[in-house]
Amino acid sequence: MIASILMVQQANHALPAGYQLDEYRIEHQFSLGGFSIVYLATDPSGQFVAIKEYLPNSLALRGEGEIKPTISEEHLPAFRYGMKCFFEEGRALAKLSHPNVIRVLNFFRANDTVYMVMEYERGRTLQEMIQKNRAIITENFIRNVFTKLLNGLREVHSHKLLHLDLKPSNIYMRNDYTPVLIDFGAARQTLASDTPMLKPMYTPGFASPEHYKQRELLGPWSDIYSVGASMYACMAGSAPQAADIRCEKDRLIPAMVRWEGQYSDQLLETVDWCLCLNHFYRPQSVFALQKALTEAVEKPEQPKQHWLGQVVDKLKRRSPAK
């Protein structure tokens, strides 16, 4: 979430509960990000939906009790350009139909901005689970969740789209622990170069080095870096060192060193593989990464015996039972 970073900027007000937005009724606000507001709403049949409203708070301000945001003359071109990208992103997403990618149901313009209607999912983000439910995040959990998530990401990549904002707070976990990819950041990414007011802001630790400075190198391997960082965060409880800082002085302790013996070598090696700074050295496709993740786990080495046990064993060997 980028909300905290942008708190210093103006805060936008959400549409009020009960507001009739096109054919939907706003129930309440879910979240207020720097780029958008997400609401719980009901459709005409009374079904819940989630609605995302394009409202970058660096460009548009909705005061208390207002419906249409105020956009200054100076910010209008950037706002419109961002809106176009948000719209195109939604249209591309609406073509995807995959159990591990958020389903976009509708897309419309209103109140001088754009709205994306999504299926409402019940659950919590992986970030919340990492913070509140650590005990559940075992080797099996990581393998299962990320293998399924990668099925969704494969579908995204096969449509020539990149997620580009993959991190535990954008992985929504249904109550049955199946993951859903939400919050596609690509709209923000496409804007980065020529509209500084809409510059993307990344959660440090999850964006690849090329996200920061070599955008022409962005590719499936960039999302794969973020997947590796998310798996690392599952183990560490917090994000790995940010890639831009790593490029200056890499202090990231490889997963293989940090958790040796606690997870299989194979899983740890896979995480380190995804987190290579040089994009050529990472898995180049989701398929390659999935292959590594689903390979049979080697039996973990026998845990080292306590010294007392070793002495007893030695004595037993010296004086075999008669």
Residue 36 CB, shortest distance to ligand ATP, in Å, is 4
Give the interface size with ligand ATP as a residue count (CB under 6 A). Answer: 21
Q: Is 170 in the site for Mg ion (CB under 5 A)?
A: yes
Pair 48, 40: CB distance under 8 Å:
yes
Specify the residue, 183 or 210, whose C-beta has the smaller distance to ligand ATP: 183
- Residue 226 makes contact with Mg ion by CB under 5 A: no
Q: Which is nearer to Mg ion, 53 or 183 (CB)?
A: 183
Residue 102 interacts, among Mg ion, ligand ATP, none and using kind-specific CB cut-offs from 5 to 8 Å, with ligand ATP
Interaction between residue 35 and ligand ATP (CB under 6 A): yes
Q: Which does 285 bind (CB under 5 to 8 A by kind): ligand ATP, Mg ion, none?
A: none
Which stretch, 35-43, 78-86, 138-146, 291-299, contacts ligand ATP (CB under 6 A)?
Answer: 35-43
User: What is the contact mask toward ligand ATP in residues 102 to 121, using x (rule: CB under 6 A)?
Assistant: x---------------xxxx
Q: Which 3-state string (H, E, C) describes the chain?
A: CCHHHHCCCCCCCCCCCCCEECCEEEEEEEEECCCEEEEEEECCCCCEEEEEEECCCCCEECCCCCCCCEECHHHHHHHHHHHHHHHHHHHHHHCCCCCCECCEEEEEEECCEEEEEEECCCEEEHHHHHHHCHHHCCHHHHHHHHHHHHHHHHHHHHCCCCCCCCCHHHEEEECCCCEEECCCCHHHHHHCCCCHHHCCCCCCCCCCHHHHHCHHHCCHHHHHHHHHHHHHHHHHCCCCCCHHHHHHCCCCCCHHHHCECCECHHHHHHHHHHCCCCHHHCCCCHHHHHHHHHCCCCCCCCCCCCHHHHHHHHHHHHCCCC
Kindly indicate which of the ranges 87-95, 163-171, 229-237, 249-257 contains the residues binding Mg ion, using the contact rule CB under 5 A: 163-171
Residue 57 contacts ligand ATP per CB under 6 A: no
Using rule CB under 6 A, residue 275 touches ligand ATP: no
* Residue in 12, 125, 222, 264 binding ligand ATP, rule: CB under 6 A: 125
CB of 52 to ligand ATP, least distance (A): 6
Question: Which position among 117, 149, 182, 286 is part of the footprint of ligand ATP (CB under 6 A)?
Answer: 182
In the numeric block, the tokens 């901005």 are attached to 113
In sequence order, the β-bridge partners of residue 40 are 28, 50
Indicate the residue among 52 and 279 with the shorter CB distance to ligand ATP. 52
Q: Which of residues 224-243 bind ligand ATP (CB under 6 A)?
A: none
Q: Identify whether the C-beta of residue 100 lies closer than 8 Å to the C-beta of residue 181.
A: yes
> Of the candidates 21, 24, 26, 36, which one interacts with ligand ATP according to CB under 6 A?
36
Residues engaged in binding Mg ion (CB under 5 A) = 170, 183
Residues engaged in binding ligand ATP (CB under 6 A) = 1-2, 30-31, 33-36, 38, 50, 52, 102, 118-121, 125, 169-170, 182-183
